[in-house]
Amino acid sequence: MDSLIAKGAELIQEAEKILVFSGAGLSTESGIPDFRSPGGVWSKYDPSDFYFDKFISDEKARVKYWQMSTEFYQTMKDAVPNRAHMAIKALEDTGKLIAVVTQNIDRLHHKAGNSPDKIIEIHGTAFSVSCLSCGKSYDRDDIQERIGSGVKVPSCDDCSGILKPDTISFGQAMPQDKMAQAMTHARECDLCIVLGSSLVVYPAASVPVNAVESGAKLMIINSDETPLDSTAELVVHESVSQALGDMVEM
């Protein structure tokens, strides 16, 4: 393990433009359940109930969606950044970090102090809500107050349209502007660090793929194997917070 940490520290020290790509395995170390792992969100709910088309067309699906979303929002709201989040902030402080592309919707990179303009939330955020008809935006806590008072499916004050947290659901289009930003950074980085991502969800996983194809070195810190392990300069199957924290502090 010590040799892997030393190799990772060397890669970070040699790099000039670092892109961090973070997934659920980073957030689980802050106590946020992983959707896919045993005991995660999909162990309690059926993912097919939450497809975007079903959310739009079925009132019962919206009731179930808000029930699920509310259950996990409080956990996310209470979560605090772990050592890896703080290590990423330390990378920004060195001037080497060009961006954090995250699949996570928990705002922990913001809480850690990374500059908002360096954080690209390609799967959106759970901390705001928008009307799918008129686009009016709401603070998530305001909507949660409504749900707490007994409203099962909140609707827009202005147009009575369907409200939805600003997260990307199955079957919902990815934010093209954010994906374009992520791909630009993938092409310009010289080191891409993947943290806690299985790299099986596309198009998100195409970001580190693009980085490698553009000549960047790849470092993967994840508990399990990923499809990109064979292309990586370094693979560490250990705690993300411990491994990255040790590398950055060396």
pLDDT digits (tens, 9 = 90+) for 213-228: 999 999 999 999 999 9
Q: pTM value?
A: 0.92
Residue 74, classified by CB atoms within 10 Å of its CB into exposed (0-12), middle (13-18) or buried (19+), is exposed
Give the mean model confidence (pLDDT) for residues 12-38. 89
Q: Are residues 85 and 194 in the same domain?
A: yes
Q: Are residues 218 and 151 in the same domain?
A: no
pLDDT digits (tens, 9 = 90+) for 143-191: 999 999 999 999 999 999 999 999 999 889 999 999 999 999 999 999 9
Structure tokens at 14: 């040699």
Q: For residue 142, give its domain range.
A: 33-78+125-167
User: What pLDDT score was predicted for residue 181?
Assistant: 97
Catalytic residue among 85, 109, 123, 185: 123
Check if the beta carbon of residue 3 is closer than 8 Å to that of residue 175: no
User: What pLDDT score was predicted for residue 40?
Assistant: 59
Q: Are residues 24 and 130 in the same domain?
A: no
* Residue 237 clears pLDDT 70, i.e. is over it: yes
User: What pLDDT score was predicted for residue 192?
Assistant: 98
Q: Are residues 134 and 58 in the same domain?
A: yes
Residue with tokens 């949660």: 144
Give the mean model confidence (pLDDT) for residues 185-199. 97
Check if the beta carbon of residue 88 is closer than 8 Å to that of residue 112: yes
* Residue 203 clears pLDDT 80, i.e. is over it: yes
Q: Are residues 236 and 156 in the same domain?
A: no
User: What pLDDT score was predicted for residue 39?
Assistant: 60
Check if the beta carbon of residue 220 is closer than 8 Å to that of residue 228: yes
* Residue 43 clears pLDDT 70, i.e. is over it: no
Q: Are residues 53 and 85 in the same domain?
A: no
pLDDT digits (tens, 9 = 90+) for 241-250: 999 999 999 8
Q: How confident is the model at residue 132 (pLDDT cuts 50, 70, 90)?
A: very high
- Compute how many other C-beta atoms are within 10 angstroms of the C-beta atom of residue 93: 11
* Euclidean distance between CA atoms 224 and 221, whole angstroms: 9
* Residue 34 clears pLDDT 80, i.e. is over it: no
- Residue 124 phi, psi (nearest 5): 85, -165
Q: Are residues 55 and 153 in the same domain?
A: yes
Q: Assign residue 132 the CATH number of its domain.
A: 3.30.1600.10
Q: Name the β-bridge partners of 164.
A: 130
3-class DSSP state of 112: helix
Q: Name the β-bridge partners of 99.
A: 19
Q: How confident is the model at residue 37 (pLDDT cuts 50, 70, 90)?
A: low
Check if the beta carbon of residue 69 is closer than 8 Å to that of residue 156: no
Q: Are residues 112 and 132 in the same domain?
A: no
Q: Name the β-bridge partners of 124.
A: 167
* Domain's final residue, options 167, 198, 222: 167
What's the structural domain count of the chain? Answer: 2
Contacts with 136 (C-beta within 8 Å, 6 or more apart), sequence order:
130, 156, 157, 158, 159
Q: Assign residue 212 the CATH number of its domain.
A: 3.40.50.1220
Q: Are residues 100 and 145 in the same domain?
A: no
* Domain's final residue, options 115, 149, 167: 167
**H or E element, residue 195:** strand 191-195
Q: Are residues 69 and 140 in the same domain?
A: yes
Q: How confident is the model at residue 36 (pLDDT cuts 50, 70, 90)?
A: low
* Euclidean distance between CA atoms 142 and 62, whole angstroms: 18
User: What pLDDT score was predicted for residue 104?
Assistant: 96
Q: How confident is the model at residue 41 (pLDDT cuts 50, 70, 90)?
A: low
Active site residue 109: no
What share of the chain has pLDDT > 90, as a percent?
A: 87
Q: Are residues 141 and 249 in the same domain?
A: no
Q: Are residues 54 and 4 in the same domain?
A: no
3-class DSSP state of 103: coil
pLDDT digits (tens, 9 = 90+) for 71-126: 889 889 999 999 999 999 999 999 999 999 999 999 999 999 999 999 999 999 99
Q: How confident is the model at residue 38 (pLDDT cuts 50, 70, 90)?
A: low
